[in-house]
Amino acid sequence: MKLKIKGYQVVKLELGTDSHVSPNSTNDDLSFQIGQFYNDKVSNEFMLGFKVSISRVELQLNLEMRFIFEADSNIDEEFKQSSFPKINAPAIAFPYLRAFISTLTMQAGYETLMLPSFNFVEIAKKDC
């Protein structure tokens, strides 16, 4: 089966200064979630969603972004249980998410934010 990213979209975006973070805080608070979604009406597509929340002294970012993957054949239960939607698809989409966040923060006048690397194999193991 051949797959490709058909498109992506920001579903939710909140960016601003967090007045609740202590000015003496040195740690970033990062929350990162991934989910897969299947549409019964479009049997050769699936969506991958990311939720990212970052709190810093000077920045509060909440982002939901979805990626649409298209296959050259119908997606079945075997595919849904495979490693592709849980490991490979996030690894393919993550650079787009990371680039979006770094460009957004830079263009908005904040210090450019680079998400750390993630091990999607380990994340998939935790979700099992």
Q: What is the pLDDT of residues 8-30, one digit of tens each?
A: 999 999 999 866 655 555 556 88
Q: Class for domain 3-127, per CATH?
A: alpha beta
Pairwise CA distance, residues 67 & 80, whole Å? 16
Sheet holding 3-16, edge to edge: 3-16, 60-71, 45-55, 29-38
- For the whole model, what pTM was predicted? 0.86
Domain ranges of the chain: 3-127
Phi and psi, residue 43, nearest 5°: -80, -5
Render pLDDT for 49-108 as a digit per residue (tens, 0 to 9): 999 999 887 889 999 999 999 999 999 999 999 999 999 999 999 999 999 999 999 999
Average pLDDT over residues 120-124: 88
Give one word for 32, left, alpha or beta, with left for phi > 0 and alpha for psi -120 to 50: beta
